[in-house]
Each structure stands twice: as C-alpha cells, then as structure tokens.
Structure 1
Amino acid sequence: MTQAASGDFSVSLERGLTILSAFGASRPVLGIADLARIAGVTKSTAHRYVATLAHLGYLQQDPDTRKYSLGPKVADLGFAAIESMDLTRVAAPLLQSLADETGFTVSMGVCESRDVVYVDRRRSGRRNVLAIDLNLHVGSRLPAYCTALGKAILAFRDPPALRQIIERSDLARRGPNTITNREQLMAALAKVRQTGIAVNDEELAPGLRSFAAPIRDRTGEVIAAVNVAVHLSAAPASLEALTAQIEPHLRRTAREISQRLGHRSED
C-alpha cells in the first residue's frame, strides 16, 4: 500500500476507502477475509474498519451470510457528487448528439422567475437549416410563457408558485399564436404536465416552432429543459408530422440527461 510522505496523510482513512472501493458490480458482496486481503491488513484490523463503516451506514451486513455490501450512505455520496457536476457539462455531448440527429438547433434553459435563461445552444454539425436565430446565445433571456423551454419547466412548478408567475407575466403578443389569456395558458401547461412535451407553435416569433422536454434531478424536480427549434422555411411539414419526427429523439435526450443527474424514472 502506498503511503504519502506528508504527515497530513491518514493511513486509516486510506484503508477505509480501499475497503469501500473493493465493492463493485463484479464484487457486490464480500466477507472479512476478502476485505482483509484487498486492504492488505489482518482480519482483526479489517473487522474494526468494517464495523465502523457499517455503524456509519456505509456498509451493511447480511445476517445470514455475515458478508457485507455497500450501504445507503454510499449512494448519498454518489448523488452528492452527481449534483455537484455542472449541468451544462453533463448535458453537452447529449445536446450535440440531438442537434446532429435532427439537423436543427438545440438549446437548454433554466427558469429564473418569469424568464427562461439559455445555458447552452448547439448547432447541427450535419447541416444548418434553421433560418431564424433571434440572436439567441448562452445567457439570453426570454419570457417563459411563450417559449417551449419555459413552458416545459413552468408546467411542473407547484400550483401556487405557477399561478403567481402567470399573474405577474404580461402575456404580451410576440407571435401570431401567443397565448395571451391566463386561463388558456394554465390549461396549456396542464397538457404539458400530462404529455411531458411542450410545443411552441409560432408563439414566440412568426415561423418559429420549437419542442421541449423537462430535465429532472435525482429528486424528480424539474430543473431545466431541452428544446429543438425549427423554422417553417426549413421544415414546412404539419405540426403533427414534425412532432412525430422530433419527439422520440427529444424525449430520449431529456431522459438521458436526467439519468446522468441521478434521476431514476418509474418506468
């Protein structure tokens, strides 16, 4: 076992971590003898480390076999590490893959009060067919009520908080199909909650359609959304046909990003 020359190095901590690291997919259950051999210590020493780790919840013992497996506290450590990751770093390769698959511009955004803030934008490396860009870039802000990204997040807010956001939004008309009635917007958001997909059909700007799906963290909370934007000049198909074309890729990408953030869906 390698020991650092520095006096700050803790051999006991190193051995405890070595014991935890011994468990894995190929070795989910281990006995004291196995752990002593892996850690390079005697059985009695290994037993002291294991007893301490079990007491703290990092290991758990099977009462029948007397062998050990990882405990719930290890999962907590893993989730803490996942949550500390930068969302954009986790999502970046998946967003680029979605852009390349569909051939359209892909964005990811978060909601701040009544606005959606763009935190990533990816263009397709295969082709650039989106004729309208609205000068959007990372850091751009738009009203949440008339964007697919915003609606995909707002739909999953707690009802009182959502009602307050809607009441404070001016619902100004920005495109030919902007929803300017608060009750109609609430109904549209209820549909998003039901389907899991938000659609912007020329609500933000003439000729622009976009489709968005929510991104969830490990607790199931919607923390962001990913969308695919399409201009009618590039894809004049009906809304239904375009939805059928994009939706499977969009759902998969949102699900994979959520999984990388620790979310485990029921299905």
Structure 2
Amino acid sequence: MSLERGLKILSAFGGGRPVLGIADLARMVGVTKSTAHRYVATLVKLGYVEQDPDTRKYSLGPRVADLGFAAIESMDLTRVAAPLLQGLADETGFTVSMAVCESRDVVYVDRRRSARRNTLAMDLNLQVGSRLPAYCTAMGKAMLAYKDPQALRQILERSDLARRGPKTITNREELLAALARVRQAGIAVNDEELAPGLRSFAAPVRDRTGEVVAAVNVAIHLSAAPSSIESLAAQIEPHLRRTAREISYRMGHRSEK
C-alpha cells in the first residue's frame, strides 16, 4: 500500500470529519472509488480504520494510536524525502530510515533498502509505524538533542533507560552529556546501544522554522561492515549530512550559514 495515500486517507478523518464514506474519501484523496475502497480495506484489516456495520461508513480504528498522529502529519515530509532516502540507500548500500519523535519514542515513517544487487542492507523486522525508544536509537538522539531542556528532562524522567544493547547509556546525566555532543556535531551515533552488533548514524531534519521535525539514519550491522566506528563515520556521514540538508531545504529550511 502506498504510504502517501494511506496517510492521506487517515488524515482525511481530521478537521471535524470523524466519519466518512468511500465516496467522501475518494473525493478528498483524489482517487477513484474502487481505489479508495482497496486502500481502506487494507487499513481496516490492519486496524487503522473501522467500519460501522449499519451505516457502512468508516472512522479511525484503535491502531491509529500505535502509529501516532505525528506520523500522519508527516505526509508531506515523506513525499519530499522519499527519493532522497532511496538515493542515500543506493549510494551507501545500507538500510536508510526516517522517523519522527512522539513523546519517548521514535515512529518510523519511511524505510528504504539499497537497489544494489549485493546490498548490505539489514533487517530488524522494522517497518513504517514501528516504534522504538528514543534514548537508545541514533534517530531518537538526533531529535532529543534539539528539544527544549525542560521538555527533554521530562521525557527522560518518563523513560526507563533500560539496557537494550551492550553499550546502552542508562544514566540520565551521561545521556544529557551525549546529547550535548550530538548538538555540537550535528550527527548522532548509535554504537550497539539498541542491539548487539547494530550501529547507526542519524542526522536531524528541520522544517522552514528551523525546528527539528524528523531524523534520517543509516543502519549498519557489524556482520556486514566490521570496520571501526571512525572508519564507518568517515564513509557514511558526508552522504547522510547532505541528504538531511537537502530534505530540510525542500521543507523550507534555509540555513543561516
């Protein structure tokens, strides 16, 4: 199912329109009734939309809370970023993802694999809508680093900071220091903090106001690239920074530099 169209259908239920029929959805999304019905049927099956058996009309289902409205609102972002994310995956040969931050979690809104035949992509069974704790992921740290200090402390106070990988930062003050380094460098690194063998690099994406609204990462497993973290950084970071800057530019952000 097309992410863009699926999100368009879900977002159509906002703005005082909690119940809609197929004809309404087709008109609002700009597709035929048969196409709208096909997408809605998939969303019903997944639990994101439910149908009233009497009126035959639709409303948002319980799983929308799992996906998060932040992901729904990222529709324009995903459309803008899609070709650039795919380009980054093809360029590096690794899996590339984009996520938004929702409270203590990151919510995946796009995930791309390299088109190379000998791809070095990895699979942690993640997909659009998957959630992970922000504190132990590169994308999470790339977004937490730019939060208002008070808001950041509140988020960390509600996070359990459980150990998930061999190098998870479980001390709040140490994590705050790490986030300060992310702000200074403009890049977040996850070196086996989420899971053994997993490394990733992430960069923030900004909107026209300069606010960090998402993050892009490149994920690498030691089995695919056993190089040192410094060597991987030299290989990945220039491409990652360029991609994040370009997505931000297309979202209206103009650097002061």
Q: TM-score, normalised by structure 1?
A: 0.68
Q: Could you list the runs of 5+ residues in structure 2 that have no partner in the other structure?
A: 1-72
Matched, 1:207 2:217: no
TM-superposition CA deviations, 1:156-195 (whole Å, max 9, x none): 0000000100111000000000000000000000000000
Matched with 1:78 is none
Q: Could you list the runs of 5+ residues in structure 1 that have no partner in the other structure?
A: 1-82
Matched with 1:128 is 119
Matched with 1:172 is 162
Alignment of 1:28-47 (within 5 A): none
Q: Specify the SS of the correspondent of 1:128.
A: coil
Which of residues 161, 180, 187 in structure 2 aligns to 1:197? 187
Superposition deviation, residue 266 in structure 1: 1.5
Superposition deviation, residue 129 in structure 1: 1.4
Matched, 1:163 2:185: no
Matched with 2:242 is 252
Matched with 1:187 is 177
Q: Specify the SS of the correspondent of 2:232.
A: helix
- Decide whether aligned partners of structure 1 residues 224 and 84 sit closer, same or farther in structure 2, where only a CA change above 3 A counts: closer
- Decide whether aligned partners of structure 1 residues 104 and 156 sit closer, same or farther in structure 2, where only a CA change above 3 A counts: same
- Decide whether aligned partners of structure 1 residues 248 and 189 sit closer, same or farther in structure 2, where only a CA change above 3 A counts: same
Matched, 1:86 2:76: yes
Superposition deviation, residue 85 in structure 1: 6.6
Which of residues 218, 224, 233 in structure 1 aligns to 2:208? 218
Q: Residue 97 of structure 1 aligns to which amino acid in structure 2?
A: G
Is the CA contact 2:74–2:109 (under 8 Å) kept in the aligned structure 1?
no
Q: Residue 176 of structure 1 aligns to which amino acid in structure 2?
A: P
Superposition deviation, residue 90 in structure 1: 0.2
Q: Specify the SS of the correspondent of 1:218.
A: coil
- Within 2, Cα distance between the matches of 1:184 and 1:192? 13
- Within 1, Cα distance between the matches of 2:141 and 2:74? 26
Matched, 1:265 2:248: no
Q: Specify the SS of the correspondent of 1:86.
A: helix
Matched with 1:51 is none
Q: Residue 231 of structure 1 aligns to which amino acid in structure 2?
A: H
Total equivalences in the alignment: 184
- Within 2, Cα distance between the matches of 1:85 and 1:192? 27
Which of residues 142, 145, 153 in structure 1 aligns to 2:135? 145
Q: Specify the SS of the correspondent of 2:111.
A: strand
Q: Specify the SS of the correspondent of 1:188.
A: helix
- Decide whether aligned partners of structure 1 residues 144 and 88 sit closer, same or farther in structure 2, where only a CA change above 3 A counts: same
- Decide whether aligned partners of structure 1 residues 165 and 84 sit closer, same or farther in structure 2, where only a CA change above 3 A counts: closer
TM-superposition CA deviations, 1:74-124 (whole Å, max 9, x none): xxxxxxxxx997110000000000000000000000000000000000000
- Within 2, Cα distance between the matches of 1:221 and 1:236? 35
Q: TM-score, normalised by structure 2?
A: 0.70
Q: Highest Rg: 1 or 2?
A: 1
TM-superposition CA deviations, 1:4-43 (whole Å, max 9, x none): xxxxxxxxxxxxxxxxxxxxxxxxxxxxxxxxxxxxxxxx
Q: Residue 163 of structure 1 aligns to which amino acid in structure 2?
A: R
- Within 1, Cα distance between the matches of 2:220 and 2:213? 24
- Within 2, Cα distance between the matches of 1:84 and 1:158? 21
Of 181-190 and 122-131, more deviation after overlay is shown by 122-131
- Decide whether aligned partners of structure 1 residues 84 and 207 sit closer, same or farther in structure 2, where only a CA change above 3 A counts: closer
Which of residues 95, 102, 114 in structure 2 aligns to 1:112? 102
